[in-house]
Amino acid sequence: MLRSRILGTGHYVPPKVVTNFDVMKMMETSNEFIVERTGVRERRHAEPDVAASDLGALACRAAVANAGLAMDQIDLVIMNTITPDHADPGCAFFLQAKLGLSGIGVLDVRQQCAGLIYGLSLADHFVRAGTYRHVLVACSEVLSKRIDGSYDGRNIAILLGDGAGAVVVGPAQDGQGAILSTILHADGSMARCLYTAAPGSALGRREHVTHDDVDAGRVHFRMDGRAVFENGVARMSEAVFESLEANGLAMDDVDVLVPHQANLRMLEAIIERTGFPREKVYINVERYGNIASASLPIALDEARRTGMIRQGSRVLLVAFGSGFVWGSALVRM
């Protein structure tokens, strides 16, 4: 039976480092508050003329090179972002043009922080079915352009960073690594716990966006912090155990756990709840903040480049995001 594997990984983060003290100049907060609540000490912000597709293209080129492929060997591009270049069409089209891949299929997904998990699942199924040979999955975010430093928005704003990560999925040969499982979940009844109301067709009017939407903050993220934290910890912890059970494995059989880098306190709670050894968990949220969908592929690529993930390592990826959406991917590298 044909199996797929991750052939290459890549990432890119902007060079501009924004510390908590820089954030203090944007809104009423403090370094002590940010560190205590989130564990974040710094993040990266892109320049104003940089779009999600720009960051994504750099990460994609790194991943394709890491896979030992030429760009023209890519058969399909899947992109996830909540900070697209434009309202429409999908951001994957702008990314495709910058990669010089005119003519191949592209697919946008909107799975927020679980974008890599969903993208890997789609790519895995396409490759195993023989539909495509090499699938490029990109997650790119420019969250600095969605910062709201008001009282209602700063609980999210203190977390946000920019960056992009990508993976190339292709066929696995005997004795090589493989995508062992992908498990996907969602609960739309909780969607308004973390969402942006405007623009939207559910607002009960004909106007797409109004000045009142801006003044009232409806164009910015709004979050029920307690609900997001509690569900994030519960769902990512469940995803760990569900993946182990589905694959008939014990905790010791997993070499590295790479979770979505939402918030250091959330990651500490997941480690405590699951009992997963802290030294086998890759964490970089202190340096990058929360980059939504880009957090997971950036962490995966960094863990490979630092040597924490080696050839043959069994790696468990888990994520949780607004929607609510969550899931896992177990891979052997």
Q: DSSP string of 87-138?
A: SSS-HHHHHHHHHT-TTSEEEEE--GGGHHHHHHHHHHHHHHHTS-S-EEEE
Catalytic residue among 11, 45, 220, 260: 260
Number of H helices, E strands in the chain: 11, 13
Q: Which residue has the tokens 């008001």?
A: 150
Active site residue 260: yes
First to last CA, the chain: 18
Quick one: which H or E segment has residue 175? none
Active site residue 155: no
Residues 6+ apart with CB under 8 A from 61: 10, 71, 99
Catalytic residue among 60, 91, 113, 193: 113
Sort strands 42-44 and 3-12 into parallel, antiparallel or unpaired: unpaired
Is the Cβ–Cβ distance between 219 and 213 less than 8 Å?
Answer: yes
Q: In whole angstroms, give the CA distance from residue 293 to residue 319.
A: 9
Is the Cβ–Cβ distance between 262 and 237 less than 8 Å?
Answer: no
Burial class (CB within 10 angstroms; exposed 0-12, middle 13-18, buried 19+) of 125: middle
Active site residue 45: no
Q: Cα–Cα–Cα angle for 74, 79, 85, nearest 5°?
A: 120
Q: In whole angstroms, give the CA distance from residue 264 to residue 158.
A: 13
Is the Cβ–Cβ distance between 106 and 139 less than 8 Å?
Answer: no
Q: Which amino acid is at 69?
A: L
Q: Which residues of 190-217 are buried (b: 16+ CB within 10 A; e: fewer)?
A: beebbebbbeeeeeeeeeeeeeebeeeb
Catalytic residue among 80, 155, 231, 290: 290
Active site residues: 113, 260, 290
